[in-house]
Amino acid sequence: MNGNNILAISSIVIKELYRRKDFYVLFILTVLITVLAGSANFFNDPRIVGWLKELSLTLIWLSSLVIAINTAARQIPAERESRTIFPLLAKPVTRADVMAGKFLGCWLACGIALLVFYLFFGIVVSAKGGRLFTGDLVLAVWLHWMLLGMVIALSLWGSLLFTSVAANVTICFVIVVGLLFIGFHLGKVARQQPEPFQTIVMIVYNILPQFGFFDTRQMLIHGSHLKIVPVLLATLYAWAYTAFFLTGGWLAFRRRALN
Amino acid sequence: MVLLLVWCFGVGSRLWTEQIAGERISARPSVLKSLLGDSRRLFANHFFIKADEYFHAGYYPSIFDQAATDKKGAASAATTGAVTGDSHAGEVEWMNKPHDWIERFSRNFFPSDHVHLDTMDDDHGHDDHEHDHDHGHSHGHSHGHGHATDGHDGASGGSMVREILPWLRISAELDPNRVETYLTGSYWLRKRMNRTAEAKEFIRDGLRANPRSYELTFELARIYHEHHEDTGRARNLFNLALRYWNDSQRLAEEPDNFMLAQILVQLATLERIQGNPDRALELYQELRKVSPFPESIDRLISDTREGKPPTALR
């Protein structure tokens, strides 16, 4: 793989994100809903902020997943449809470079979007007089970004397996949301099953990526503190799955006919 | 004959639809009711549970854990606190020893310390749970047969409790007939936050939706008694609560004797304060029939006969 090629491809992806309207629409919607909700009066107490944090974080998570999955899912199909993939690969650029460049571009673009969203979140919480520890916020944003790395890699792989972008987006969204909601609880479900289902579900539970490790919304809302060591371990966990999904995508891309 | 049948059917249909339309106009459904229908009650329940989750600062069982805690007889801490004054009373510890590495590691990423918002404040974090637990129980148990007493006096600490209020308000908007929501909100507003005016207004909202609720009338009476010290109005409201209780519960299969006991003891105390020992004795006799501690009621009866002043019940 060539680092310069990867950086060149990724810079194009970043430019594409800020030229498209997705991010702006989702950000403005998040701002509007949060500001409107923030103006609500509950028992004449202006310092109530927990529910606003919850609403704002939910919107940020939803927006970031939509941006990540949508951006990643259409990268390679768009190149194929517009046939720009041929001149791209005619240059000294390997398929691995394309895959890595697309991933890096989407990941960095999502990171920039996350910074804007969380900056707004910080401003809203501070304006309402709520508690928000900077260290915890930084770690939470970092974990969120790590999760988006896995999601983008999964979505890129999916774009090479499914025939349409819409199918890939829908399936990725269902997988990600499903894992966020039930990932941690599969073990509890498995322990109540008879054999051999118990073993099968336990294997699935241990193999599936636990996206819940990266969802620290409740910690931010309730002012609990994140510890650095678990965050570092979760980062390694995320990188391992990201590498696995990217390898899977690269293998699929290598065998795939371009026309 | 056929024409006559068609005419009858037409007139019948018209009258029926007019009746339905008339009912709809008289009921004046809110926008939420029109949009969500009866499903709003499900959402109301969800937001009520959300308030309890906030009360525990996010330390709350998921639906997968709730099945296990329900079997152990767990109850909402925010509600239990509002009814008995001890928010730890109905609690069951749901987070056990982790079964695997995922469970163990996941506890670093969501609140996994058992705390209550009433032991936290804006700047100083939270106190030790065990300390609060002991305090709440010892205080609650010293008041005999489960009358509403608060584990903490006055509005000390617990400024973070305000975070549960939006969920209670939203829950009440979605299901105005859920009396429990108003009682819980009122308790935390007046007892822990010293916001009597807001508590009274919330209870009045509840009474507008549930005009003959003995629980809400009782709560309003307590506000007048304990916060405004308006014993005359409080006594009238306690009497009204007793009347509403009789109307709805007297012939019920499982009458709400817990609330009856609370109404009777408060009313009897006020009657003693206002110099009506005979009426107080009548009420104590009624109370004796439903109280799980008749010997303590006998003591109250003998105190009344001896003309001793009543001890304040708050």
| Model confidence pLDDT, tens digit, residues A183-209 | 888 888 888 888 888 899 999 999 999
Interface test with B, best of A222, A229, A232 (most B CBs within 10 A): A222
pLDDT in tens, B251-272: 888 888 898 999 998 889 888 8
Distance from CA of A85 to the nearest CA of B (A): 41
Torsion of CA B297, B302, B308, B310, to 10 degrees: 10
pLDDT value, residue B27? 52
Cβ-Cβ contacts under 8 Å for B269 (sequence gap 6 or more): B280, B310, B312, B313
CB spacing of A224 vs B111 below 8 angstroms: yes
Cα separation, B187 vs B127, whole angstroms: 22
In the numeric block, which tokens belong to residue B292? Answer: 């799980």
Assess whether pLDDT exceeds 80 at residue B234: yes
The rounded distance, in Å, linking the Cα atoms of A106 and A68 is 7
pLDDT at B300: 84
pLDDT at B279 over 90: no
Residue of A nearest to B57 (CA): A222
* Gap between the Cα atoms of A179 and B96, Å rounded: 22
Residue B162 forms contact with A (CB below 8 Å): yes
Sign of the C-alpha dihedral computed for residues B128, B134, B139 and B144 taken in this order: positive
Question: Which of B117, B141, B121 minimizes the C-alpha distance to B129?
Answer: B117
- Residue B76 vs residue A122, higher pLDDT: A122
**Any CB–CB contact under 8 A between B67 and chain A?**
no
Q: How far does A222 lie from chain B, in Å, by closest CA?
A: 5
pLDDT band at B130 (very low <50, low <70, confident <90, very high): very low
Considering only A209-223, B80-94, B205-219, B244-258, which range has the smallest mean pLDDT?
B80-94
- CA distance linking residue A11 with residue B180, whole number of Å: 57
Q: Return the structure tokens found at B236.
A: 């009238």
Three-state SS for B121?
strand
Q: Is A43 close to B165, i.e. CB distance below 8 A?
A: yes
For chain B, what percent of residues have pLDDT higher than 90?
17
Rounded to a whole number of angstroms, the distance from the CA of B166 to the nearest CA of chain A is 6
Q: What is the pLDDT of residues B158-200, one digit of tens each?
A: 578 888 889 999 999 888 889 999 999 999 888 888 889 999 9
ipTM score assigned to the predicted complex: 0.83
Contact list, A180 vs chain B (CB under 8 Å)? none
For residues A188 and B106, what is the distance between their CA atoms, to the nearest angstrom? 14
* Contact list, B102 vs chain A (CB under 8 Å): 184, 187, 205-206, 210
The yes-or-no verdict on residue B34 having pLDDT over 80 is no
Of residues B87, B34, B11, the one with CA closest to residue B56: B87
How far apart, in Å, are the Cα atoms of B143 and each of B5, B136, B146, B296, B311?
A: 71, 12, 7, 11, 11
> In the structure, what pLDDT confidence band is assigned to residue B241 with cuts at 50, 70 and 90?
very high
Across the interface, whether the CB atoms of B110 and A216 are under 8 A apart is answered yes
Identify the bridge partners of residue B125 per DSSP, sorted by sequence position. B121
Say whether pLDDT at B7 is over 90: no
User: Between B110 and B140, where is the model more confident?
Assistant: B110
Place of tokens 């349409």: A164
Take residue B20 and report the two structure tokens written for it: 């339905």
- B149: distance to nearest CA of chain A, Å? 24
B98 interface with A at CB cutoff 8 Å:
no
> Residue type for B103, please?
E
By C-alpha distance, which of B157, B174, B149 is closest to B46?
B174
How far the first Cα of chain B sits from its last, in Å, is: 74
- The parts of chain A modelled with pLDDT lower than 70 are 259
CB contact under 8 A, B165 and A223: no
What's the confidence (pLDDT) of residue B17? 61
For an interface test with B, which of A198, A210, A224, A232 has the most B Cβ atoms less than 10 Å from its Cβ?
A224
Q: Is the per-residue pLDDT at B157 higher than 50? A: no
> Whose structure tokens read 């009782």?
B218
Q: If you count residue pairs, one on A and one on B, with CB atoms under 8 Å apart, how many are there?
A: 88
Q: Which of A65, A94, A80, A73 is nearest to A161 (CA)?
A: A73
State whether residue B113 sits within 8 Å of chain A by CB.
yes
Window A:206-245, CB contacts with B under 8 Å: 206, 210, 212-216, 218-219, 221-224, 226-227, 230, 233-234
Segment A216-225, tens digit of pLDDT: 998 888 888 8
**B71 at A interface, C-beta within 8 A:** no
Instruction: Using a CB–CB cutoff of 8 Å, tell me whether A181 touches chain B.
Output: no
Given an 8 Å threshold on Cβ–Cβ distance, is B169 in contact with A43?
yes
**A236 Cβ neighbours under 8 A, 6+ residues apart:** none
Band of the pLDDT at B77, cuts 50, 70, 90? low
**Does B120 score more than 90 pLDDT?**
no
Q: B82 pLDDT band (50/70/90 cuts)?
A: low
Q: Which residues in chain A are closer than 8 Å to B58, comparing Cβ atoms? A: 218-219, 221-222, 224
Confidence at residue B240, expressed as pLDDT on a 0 to 100 scale: 92
Task: Please name the residue of chain A whose CA is at the shortest distance from the CA of residue B195.
Answer: A43
Residue B148: φ, ψ to 5°: -65, 105
**Average pLDDT score, chain A:** 90
Q: By the CB < 8 Å criterion, does A178 face chain B?
A: no
For residue A133, which amino acid is it?
F
Chain B CB contacts of A214 under 8 Å are 109
